[in-house]
Structure 1
């Protein structure tokens, strides 16, 4: 029997583990860090991004031989320390890429409703994706659905010969929409810590839209605060924060969309993370266990598989498309939840813990379309179904 220690807020994990009591002895931890007593017994540890795994934590876990994080990013885990101990380590890249892409689409849709048009200060409908991995690819597809010419900035991929990306930073800064989708790295030629700094911010179009759904420290918060004080018309959407769960209240008051690190929190994204880790754990421990399919896990948590939106009597205008997308996921609701809290670290964590079931935009079906708009909708649908590389 394997002794497992797991984050109690990992959606779908309890159901998976409870099906096989003969294989797993399970302890659950609340909050951000397990207790020393819990760590002392654990052979496998399943975490989310809120748990920092460093040498000090590992010293309390002498039996640990397997670690999995239900996240794309791994900057909360000291990988070198794991290697020194010979501990197997897995993350879940791409598992919530569709959800993060939907977050970007929802922000743009909300801007269409607020401005009456797409963010387009250059007049060229240009969007820049920073980081062409799983979430960046999904976000790029959603932006193309709106008609943007999308360019992906990714110097490491460019150096590897990827002809679909570029390394021209000025092309990024001159875009109408800029969306960040990189891991947090602090060293090396292409470090991303404070990639968006004061110099970069000063070069953005005044009415541009900047979105960060990657890691908080990719954007220098103090520099952003100072830029917004000088250029309040710059539109910013922050799902991640440099010192989360501690929020910069002065900055939050100036950004247009502020959310509690929930961009990837669709049902499919959250359940998929737990399922992916369990699939790997079962393989590594050589267990004869048959796990359910992702679709069945998602279906248990959502009332329906398809969400119909009638456009009878309307043309498929930009506003109609935006309204339809917002009917599935509306970032303004998440913004309202965060601003309505007391903005404490506890409130931030609670919003993530109690996040409601959220469908993905791929489940949207427009009905009652006229024949002229049907082809356009079919093209949009293809973009909404892109889940990443």
Structure 2
């Protein structure tokens, strides 16, 4: 069996070698010729998985080790009887930690009490739910918006989009969708950007395209925190230069998230091939004893990881993809012993 794997997939050799021959390459370099005689394709977000890539190939299983779906033509896979698995939720903790750590840093910069602010969470799936739980631990009032969940689950505490957009801090955690009753493409647009004031903090840690950047770059806010961009890696220079944090789509790039993405695909591939899982795979992350010395929450979170370094790293846009592929080691908060209570939820 031959497997084509994006070389940015975590621990690909240790996790997938039991299945057969592994050929790795950068996600952007995976092309029809490379997959033609392969049986399994395992990708991250940089490979467009569609008819153009797979037509005439022998691929029978596609696994995506990231949470997003907009790089995969699921209809084509289904029609052509190609098994597909996406590691939904693998990076939810990492992204929630990114948002919480940044809010605390902004509270210090602007001298506000974050417990007196409202947090509008647009999209309350895997990431949004994690974030809401952490916010609750910190005493932050949340305004939750997710019309699909609200309709399907009868959630009376959810709010409409305009209400959520009127929060002091607005953060997006939707997939990028173009169809259906509630498409998220340019969800924040000229019809509702008036809800964003010059005192609003706006996060995009969802997908490039959920906010109309041509309007955003002309809108005065208190701060912008941008991890996801339209046209990556050719990102909007005006927004980059004005943002508090301008990072290269790495909010979900913790070691834990990258491992979980690979591991979830591994589990699905074992099921597909009726192969037994190897017990040692689930124990690949073992950072040892990690401790934090800070005696306050803000310093403790910055001791875990300083996200400002990610902004500095891509001041030269040419470093965008290089930095993503060589991202520093970052473990999630639950690995650490701390003198202060961390919002682990």
TM over 0.5: yes
CA distance, structure 2, for counterparts of residue 11 and residue 63 of structure 1: 24
Quick one: which of 136, 153, 158 aligns to 2:128? 136
Alignment of 1:156 with 2:148, yes or no, is: yes
CA distance, structure 1, for counterparts of residue 33 and residue 92 of structure 2: 35
Shift of 1:144: 2.6
Shift of 1:270: 0.3
SS in 2 for 1:322: helix
CA distance, structure 1, for counterparts of residue 103 and residue 277 of structure 2: 43
Hey, what does 1:336 align to over in structure 2? 312
Kept after mapping to 1: 8 A contact 2:66/2:86 = yes
Quick one: which of 247, 255, 275 aligns to 2:263? 275
CA distance, structure 2, for counterparts of residue 144 and residue 364 of structure 1: 21
Shift of 1:151: 2.2
Alignment of 1:363 with 2:335, yes or no, is: yes
SS in 2 for 1:292: helix
Alignment of 1:234 with 2:250, yes or no, is: no
Hey, what does 1:349 align to over in structure 2? 321
Q: How does 1:210-289 map to 2 (within 5 A)?
A: 210-227=202-219, 231=220, 233-289=221-277
Quick one: structure 1 residues 364 and 116, their matched pair in 2 at CA, closer, same or farther if it must change by over 3 Å?
A: farther
Kept after mapping to 1: 8 A contact 2:292/2:304 = no
Structure 1 gaps, min length 5:
312-319, 370-376
Q: Please say which of residues 8-17 and 40-49 is displaced more in the overlay.
A: 8-17
TM-score by length of 2: 0.94
Quick one: which of 278, 297, 310 aligns to 2:284? 297
- Greater RCO (Cα-Cα under 8 Å, separation 6 or more): 1
Q: CA RMSD in A?
A: 1.8
Kept after mapping to 1: 8 A contact 2:122/2:173 = yes
Q: Please say which of residues 188-197 and 140-149 is displaced more in the overlay.
A: 140-149
Shift of 1:160: 0.9
SS in 2 for 1:26: strand
TM-score by length of 1: 0.84
Structure 2 gaps, min length 5:
none
Runs of 4+ in 1 over 4 A off after TM superposition: none
Hey, what does 1:76 align to over in structure 2? 71
CA distance, structure 1, for counterparts of residue 246 and residue 86 of structure 2: 26
Q: Which has the larger radius of gyration?
A: 1
CA distance, structure 2, for counterparts of residue 80 and residue 192 of structure 1: 19
Hey, what does 1:192 align to over in structure 2? 184
Quick one: structure 1 residues 130 and 155, their matched pair in 2 at CA, closer, same or farther if it must change by over 3 Å?
A: same
CA distance, structure 1, for counterparts of residue 27 and residue 91 of structure 2: 22
Hey, what does 2:15 align to over in structure 1? 16
CA distance, structure 2, for counterparts of residue 162 and residue 33 of structure 1: 45
SS in 2 for 1:273: helix
